[in-house]
Amino acid sequence: MRSSFGWGASAEDVGRVVALLEARGIHTEVLIHDIAHPWREPAHPGDDRSTPASLQYFNRDAAAVAELLRAHGIRFLPPLRPALGRAGPRERLRAASAPWAWQSAGVSADEELVVSALAINVTIPETLRWTDARRGQTFRLDTLNVRMLPSGHLAAKAYGRPVEGGRGAYVSFAVPDRPELAALIDAAADRAGTMWAGHRGLR
């Protein structure tokens, strides 16, 4: 069973990590994100050094991968694991070599788990909220929707309702280029990653 992890690095940078892990006897691969043409076969890492890429590794090597990445200042979040009762994140990471529960349904052990979307909603603190207008109507923005792109970068939109009240539509707006909002988005993504990594399974 394999997983992938991206941190917004280029194929060339991920290739350096692959080489370091290979020197330790850990086989990993560069996984190219062809965002413009997702239906095409991935390009070879040497074709475009600016192409965003991820590190693909076997789950049994998750702990070693995490150790090397963190040693190089890269924040690593372990992949989602099968339900393991109320075990904490460290216990789930140690169990990285355990088979996934759904593999018993005939799924190949080499089948990669694909997470197709990563998005969170974040309440904007009162002091950071702002207003914007559309079609002559003023909205007060109170919520952020933050998505993680295939490159590992974040994208965000703000949502709000008409200031005059009523049952107006919940409309989206661009997020202003303000340092405090960028910091809020970054902190929310970190917090969401910690919460996901510490999940307790289905109830």
Give the pLDDT of the chain (203 residues) as one tens digit per residue.
Answer: 677 787 777 888 888 899 999 998 999 998 876 544 333 334 344 444 456 778 888 877 887 888 888 888 887 665 544 434 444 444 444 344 444 555 555 666 556 667 778 899 999 999 999 999 988 889 999 999 999 988 888 999 999 988 887 666 677 899 999 999 999 999 999 999 888 888 788 88
Is the separation of the CB atoms in 36 and 50 below 8 Å? no
What is the structure's pLDDT at 106?
Answer: 61
3-state secondary structure 30-76: EEECCCCCCCCCCCCHHHCCCCEEEEEEEHHHHHHHHHHHHHCCCCC
Domain boundaries in the chain? 2-114, 119-193
